Structure 1
Amino acid sequence: MAHAPQSPRELRAVRTIAALVLREMGTTHGRAIGGYLWAILEPVGGILLLTLAFSMAFRSPSLGTNFPLFYASGLLPFLMYIDLSQKISVTIRFSKALLFYPAVTFIDALLARLLINGLTQILIFCLVLGGILVLYDVRVMLDIPALVLALSMAIALSVGIGTMNCFLLSLYPTWERAWAILNRPLLLISCIFFIFDDIPEPFKSVLWYNPLVHIIGQTRKGIYSFYNGDYVSPAYVFGIALVTFAFGLVMLRKHYKTIINT
């Protein structure tokens, strides 16, 4: 069965997004390969620091026997969320000069940022995790569907929070500083350095509401076959992602002209 030809409007949107992706690649990473290497070296450096610090204090990590693998299972999805949500949140600021052209919409800009930065973060995740498994000869049976679900949860939450903040940051600049303050404890309360199961009550019940706890727990379920992680709720994470994305999209549509003219 033959596919219906794409309309000129659809083709124009594809060309616009492709042009925005190329612009993003050149602006963010530069034309030299060093820009992309730095994006990979940043999480590697964090994992090495955590490994050195905690291996001197503890005999073994909370899961398994390999410190780098354990901290990578927490740090990689955490950094994916932080980087991707932040990049999406400043989409309009990044592409504001282009949004005055009728052919370029804020949705095109959002999709372009999601595409290039999402693929970059997935590549970083695979390279760093694969590098640890090869370098340390770690014998684990990866659950690929579970890891795909974990990455999907991280990307969905990043898009939701990023789109919401794209509106808030564009209309209320002081929100950027407030959001940065609210995010400071995340590194300590997202179960990167420990597992959710080891947290005592009543803190355990409170931390359950942090969606990053579920994303990191799902990642560890995909890496450690013996880890149950029955507290993980993908529906909860996708629910937050959907609500925040819908709110951000509706408000951006409503206040779009005001935002680009301020």
Structure 2
Amino acid sequence: MTSPTAPPPGRRRFKTFRAVSALTLREMESTYGQSPGGYLWTILEPAAGIALLSIVFSLVLRSPALGTNFAYFFATGILPFMLYTGVSAKMAQSIQFSRPLLAYPALTFTDALLARFLLNSVTQLLVMLLVIVGIILFYNLRPIIDWPSLFLGLAMLLALTASVGVMNCYLTSRFPIWGQIWAVLNRPMFILSGILFIPENVPARFRDWFMLNPVAHITSQIRKGFFVTYDAVYVQPVYVFVISCVLGIFGMLFLLKNYQFILQR
């Protein structure tokens, strides 16, 4: 009878899980554990923005583009947009943030990307849940939620966020000035993503150009989930998923090809 053989030295089970878990804990400590309030500020920031927009628009308009509650309408647009911008920005800095650790063979850039994506996406989704539920309870709303439409919108949101984060991780690591260029390009996105209005209210001659922005499709699809009477006829989920696949695949290919060069810079 032969005795069981030990695994080869240096090989560990669940290598990726261990690496991602360690990087996630490090991210939690550095991002949310260094300042008073930590996670509390993550909730208060969007809540304050939603409250301000609600007050301003309620003074000049009788009702929002959908429904009757300004806070609920703006929350369904601002919170997904904050997830997109916040998580993709975190992913763009993955290699710079974890550069000292990536010198170890046990860690790769995919571990760093995955850790940042998972932690910050889950955090923002929880913030979205808490803020929207808080608005519903505070205003005693009775929304009818279309769950399949909502889940489709969230899938579109996470796919685009991950792909933009991967591509920007390569561009930022390879060309440091790209971070500044992207920040300038991204400034009009708050207006162009359909947060303050819906595509149906955009003049027909501009609507086709407006819907070239994949984030506008995501905002409308998520609102279709929160407002059951909203049809969102201009949303094309396939368009968003195709863009996400193209950006994600090319971003990963560029990183794989240039990873060693980036680390040695």
Give the TM-score normalised by the residue count of structure 2: 0.94
Match of 2:33 among 30, 33, 37: 30
Q: Any idea what the Cα deviations from partners look like across 1:58-95, whole Å, max 9, x if unmatched? A: 01111110000010111111111000110111100110
1:168 maps onto 2:156 in alignment? no
- Aligned equivalent of 2:105, options 85, 102, 124: 102
What residue in structure 1 maps to residue 4 of structure 2? Answer: none
What does residue 19 of structure 1 align with?
22
1:218 pairs with one of 198, 210, 221 = 221
Q: Secondary structure at the match of 2:243?
A: helix
* Aligned twin of 1:4: none
AA matched with 2:54 = T
Question: 80, 90, 94: which one pairs with 2:93?
Answer: 90
8 Å contact kept, 1:84–1:155: no
CA deviation map 1:137-191 (0-9, x unaligned): 1111111222121111111111101100100000101111111111010011111
* Match of residue 248, structure 2, among 223, 236, 245: 245
Match of 1:119 among 114, 118, 122: 122
SS in 2 for 1:217: helix
Q: Distance in 2 between matches of 1:143 and 1:28?
A: 34
Change (3 A) 1:33 1:18: farther
Structure 1-normalised TM-score?
Answer: 0.95
- Provide the aligned C-alpha RMSD in A: 1.5
Structure 2 partner of 1:45:
48
Deviation of 1:16 after TM superposition, in Å, equals 1.0
Cα 1:13–1:127, aligned 2, differ >3 Å: closer, same or farther? same
1:59 maps to 2:73: no
Match of 2:81 in 1: 78
- Structure whose alpha-carbon radius of gyration is higher: 2
Q: Aligned residue pairs: how many?
A: 257
Q: Aligned partners of 1:259, 1:140: CA distance in 2, in Å?
A: 49
Does 1:136 find its partner at 2:139? yes
Q: Which residue of the partner structure matches residue 204 of structure 2? A: 201
2:3 is aligned to none
Q: Quick one: which amino acid aligns to residue 177 of structure 1?
A: Q
Secondary structure of 1:97's counterpart equals helix
The gaps in structure 1 that reach 5 residues or longer are 1-6
Q: Distance in 2 between matches of 1:149 and 1:10?
A: 34
Q: Hey, what's the Cα distance between the residues in 2 that align with 1:195 and 1:25?
A: 35
By how many angstroms is 1:9 displaced?
4.8
Q: For 2:45 and 2:201, how far apart are their aligned partners in 1?
A: 28
Whether 1:254 aligns to 2:248 is no
Structure 1 consecutive aligned stretches of length 4 or more whose deviation exceeds 3 Å? 7-10
Task: Tell me how far 1:31 sits from its aligned partner.
Answer: 6.5
